[in-house]
């Protein structure tokens, strides 16, 4: 199977320049060459694989320039920027001769619930028998909001319990909630998971964050257990993956969610965060040492600790109902149109901020996610102009509200245009920093699915390799739209630019990537640059195009690796669909099937 796959990839690479007029491809890029040697001079080696003619710098620059312009106002859902963004994207797909991807429609309506806290001067009041009341200030010491869509939420004298990491993870024989009744109580939990705290590679995934370390999971689990409130302690920037400033900015202002009618499940009356200093002060008032208890919480068998304290806070919010839209475009498969490979890239960003010196500040989002949208458009154009259409359908999904905890992709997964058991994979593109050509490509959340094996083989044709992300403790795998598919069981991949740059090596790549994160990510400085060197970005786009094309022209069904926490869901899904695979074998290991629905 692997030998056949490699032969297929070579054939795809050879014909990439045959999908239309290849006059725009550099002469040096029209043939397959041996893997490039490591560059030691200022002249980079030629690309080893030709770019499809539709993957070019002129189109990419025009796409990104438009999408990140002042006129689009930061592409915030519910604003004129949403209308302009969707109209522009649909126009591009029509020009490319793609068809609507949602049963004859370009759009998928997503209901949205918006909660805006009005009394931002609210304080969290904590009382303990051993001392007077303690007040914790909104924005400085803590953040608080309701997930419950109620105009007024009053937490009164709720008993406080320290629940360690607030995790119930059977895979790791870990359950902080075992034997503890937290109904109506305020639970305090630590960000990330025990593996990060100890560095023990045998405990969870060591330094790499798991799903159980994400704040989304911790709120969901606390709500499921009946807690009235859950506050996560921001123990450090490294543990959380971002600074307290990001916590404050991300949880203030209007917060979006899906209505309970379409996303049922328990929700917290009060959710929030505490700074480390606030947690230390709160525990001290109860006669306890926060740092000592936090260290104990990272050891198996930790017993939750009641603080002999009560918490109170009143939240007054306005609740509004509205709609936003996912956008779907399709290249219909020629042989198995009912099977689909999905490319996803969210279209939304943060909009505008208050006026500065009489001018509004626009969060342009040229990289996040203008780069992802532009890459998706390039790939769509390449598929649309293939001389031979793909055998499976290829869906280009642009979800809304990614910046609001992936709500658009969550809604799509719950209401898919193609059944999930007929969805081969999701290839997600999000915030692709433009930093130059590299000898590698980065996979986020390495070790999840067999799509990584396919990506390695495509990269090998380019003389490149696949490397793991530099900061697995930040949990990036759980922070973009592909994760909605992963949770549902569909194999999903998110990759990023390589950091081992041809010019400057890994040190230069880390510096460039860190500079974007520190100075432009989620700021008005994430702007379009007409002087971008797109050579590396275009090579990466070609890689993703060949990866998806191989999946679309094959009969393989990539699976999760055996130890992935998402595999059981996929296996159950495929078994229910009566996948013709031998017992005990994955779809790929069993040779998959030659056609038809899985």
SS (H, E, C) 117-174: ECCCCCEEEEEECCEEEEEEEECCCEEEECCCCCCEEEEEEEEEEECCCCCEEHHHCE
Of residues 106 and 78, more confidence is placed in 106
In the numeric block, the tokens 């999946």 are attached to 551
What one-character DSSP code corresponds to residue 50? Answer: P
What share of the chain in percent tops pLDDT 70?
A: 88
pLDDT for position 50? 86
Mean pLDDT of the chain: 88
Beta-carbon contacts of residue 421 (< 8 Å; ≥ 6 apart):
573, 574, 576, 577, 597, 598
Give dist(CA 48, CA 53) in Å, integer: 15
pLDDT for position 46? 82
Query: What are the tens digits of pLDDT across the range 496-513?
Result: 999 999 999 999 999 998
Of residues 308 and 1, more confidence is placed in 308
Query: What are the tens digits of pLDDT across the range 38-92?
Result: 333 356 688 878 899 999 999 999 999 999 999 999 999 999 999 999 999 999 9
Query: What are the tens digits of pLDDT across the range 449-475?
Result: 999 999 999 999 999 999 999 888 888
**H-state helical runs in 175-285:** 194-198, 215-224, 237-240, 244-250, 276-285
If you average pLDDT over residues 110-122, what whole number do you get?
A: 95
Structure token digits, residue 208: 């790499």
pLDDT band at 137 (very low <50, low <70, confident <90, very high): very high
Q: 2-30+51-100+332-576: which CATH number, 3.20.20.480, 3.40.630.10, 3.30.70.330, 3.40.50.1370? A: 3.40.630.10
pLDDT for position 249? 81
pLDDT for position 592? 37
Our measurement of the distance from residue 177's CA atom to the centroid of its chain's CA atoms, rounded to an integer in Å, reads 28
Nearest to 537 by CA among 387, 393, 379, 421: 379
Q: Are 452 and 300 in contact (CB under 8 A)?
A: no
pLDDT band at 27 (very low <50, low <70, confident <90, very high): very low
Our measurement of the distance from residue 282's CA atom to the centroid of its chain's CA atoms, rounded to an integer in Å, reads 33
Domain with residues 115-319, CATH architecture: 3-Layer(bba) Sandwich (3.50)
pLDDT band at 279 (very low <50, low <70, confident <90, very high): very high
Give dist(CA 548, CA 333) in Å, integer: 13
Of residues 297 and 582, more confidence is placed in 297
Query: What are the tens digits of pLDDT across the range 524-566?
Result: 999 999 999 999 999 999 999 999 999 999 999 999 999 898 9
pLDDT for position 4? 42
- The yes-or-no verdict on residue 215 having pLDDT over 80 is yes
pLDDT for position 18? 37
Nearest to 155 by CA among 123, 200, 130: 123
pLDDT for position 578? 72
Structure token digits, residue 85: 């963004």
- The yes-or-no verdict on residue 309 having pLDDT over 70 is yes
- The yes-or-no verdict on residue 247 having pLDDT over 70 is yes
**Which secondary structure element, helix H or strand E, spans residue 115, and what is its range?**
strand 107-117
- The yes-or-no verdict on residue 582 having pLDDT over 60 is no
Nearest to 310 by CA among 183, 156, 137, 145: 156
pLDDT band at 358 (very low <50, low <70, confident <90, very high): low
pLDDT for position 360? 79
pLDDT for position 51? 92
pLDDT for position 1? 40
Query: CATH 3.50.30.30 residue ranges in the chain?
Result: 115-319
pLDDT band at 315 (very low <50, low <70, confident <90, very high): very high
Which range (286-290, 292-296, 353-357, 588-592) has the least confidence?
Answer: 588-592
Query: CATH 3.40.630.10 residue ranges in the chain?
Result: 2-30+51-100+332-576
Give dist(CA 179, CA 478) in Å, integer: 29
Query: What are the tens digits of pLDDT across the range 406-452?
Result: 999 999 999 999 999 999 999 999 999 999 999 999 999 999 999 99
Of residues 357 and 318, more confidence is placed in 318
């Amino acid at each position: 199977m692997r030998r056949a796959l490699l032969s297929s990839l070579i054939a795809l690479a050879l014909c990439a320049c045959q999908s239309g007029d290849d006059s725009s491809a550099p002469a040096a890029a029209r043939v397959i060459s041996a893997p490039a040697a490591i560059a030691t001079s200022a002249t980079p080696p030629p690309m080893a694989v030709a770019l499809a003619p539709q993957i070019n710098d002129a189109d990419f620059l025009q796409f990104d320039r438009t999408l990140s312009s002042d006129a689009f106002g930061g592409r915030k859902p519910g604003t004129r920027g949403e209308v302009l963004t969707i109209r522009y994207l649909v126009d591009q797909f029509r020009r490319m001769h793609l068809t609507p991807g949602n049963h004859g429609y370009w759009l998928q309506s997503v209901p949205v619930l918006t909660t805006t806290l009005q009394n931002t001067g609210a304080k969290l009041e904590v009382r303990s028998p051993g001392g007077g009341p303690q007040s914790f200030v909104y924005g400085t010491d803590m953040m608080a909001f309701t997930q419950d869509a109620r105009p007024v939420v009053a937490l009164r004298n709720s008993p406080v319990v320290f629940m360690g990491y607030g995790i119930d993870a059977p895979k790791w024989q870990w359950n902080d909630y075992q034997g503890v009744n937290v109904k109506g109580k305020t639970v305090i939990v630590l960000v990330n998971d025990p593996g990060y705290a100890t560095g023990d590679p045998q405990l969870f995934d060591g330094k790499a964050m798991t799903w159980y370390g994400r704040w989304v999971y911790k709120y969901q689990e606390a709500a499921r257990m009946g807690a009235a409130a859950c506050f996560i302690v921001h123990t450090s920037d490294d543990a959380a993956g971002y600074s307290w400033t990001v916590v404050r900015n991300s949880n203030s202002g209007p917060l979006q969610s899906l209505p309970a009618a379409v996303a049922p499940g328990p929700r917290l009356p009060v959710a929030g965060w505490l700074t480390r200093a606030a947690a230390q002060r709160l525990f001290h008032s109860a006669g306890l040492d926060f740092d000592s208890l936090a260290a104990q919480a990272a050891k198996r068998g930790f017993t939750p600790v009641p603080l002999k304290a009560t918490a109170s806070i009143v939240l007054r919010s306005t609740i509004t109902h509205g709609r936003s839209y996912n956008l779907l475009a399709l290249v219909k498969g020629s042989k198995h149109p009912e099977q689909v490979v999905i490319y996803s890239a969210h279209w939304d960003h943060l909009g505008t901020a208050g006026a500065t010196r009489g001018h509004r500040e626009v969060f342009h989002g040229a990289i996040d996610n203008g780069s992802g949208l532009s890459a998706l458009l390039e790939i769509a154009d390449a598929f649309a102009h293939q001389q031979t259409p793909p055998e499976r359908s290829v869906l280009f999904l642009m979800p809304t509200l990614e910046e609001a905890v992936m709500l658009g992709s969550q809604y799509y997964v719950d209401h898919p245009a193609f059944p999930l058991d007929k969805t081969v994979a999701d290839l997600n593109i999000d915030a692709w920093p433009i930093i130059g050509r590299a000898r590698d490509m980065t996979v986020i959340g390495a070790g999840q699915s067999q799509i990584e094996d396919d990506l390695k083989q495509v990269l090998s044709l380019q003389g490149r390799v696949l490397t793991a992300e530099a900061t697995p403790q930040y949990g990036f795998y759980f922070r973009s739209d592909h994760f909605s598919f992963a949770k549902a069981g569909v194999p999903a991949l998110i990759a990023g630019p390589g950091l081992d740059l041809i010019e400057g090596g890994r040190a230069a790549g880390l510096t460039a990537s860190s500079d974007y994160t520190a100075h432009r990510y989620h700021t008005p400085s994430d702007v379009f640059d007409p002087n971008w060197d797109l050579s590396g970005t275009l090579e990466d786009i070609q890689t993703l195009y060949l990866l998806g094309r191989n999946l679309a022209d094959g009969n393989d069904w990539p699976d999760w690796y055996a130890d992935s926490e998402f595999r059981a869901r996929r296996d159950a899904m495929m078994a229910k669909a009566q996948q013709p695979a031998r017992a005990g074998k994955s779809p790929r290991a069993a040779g998959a099937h030659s056609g038809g629905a899985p």
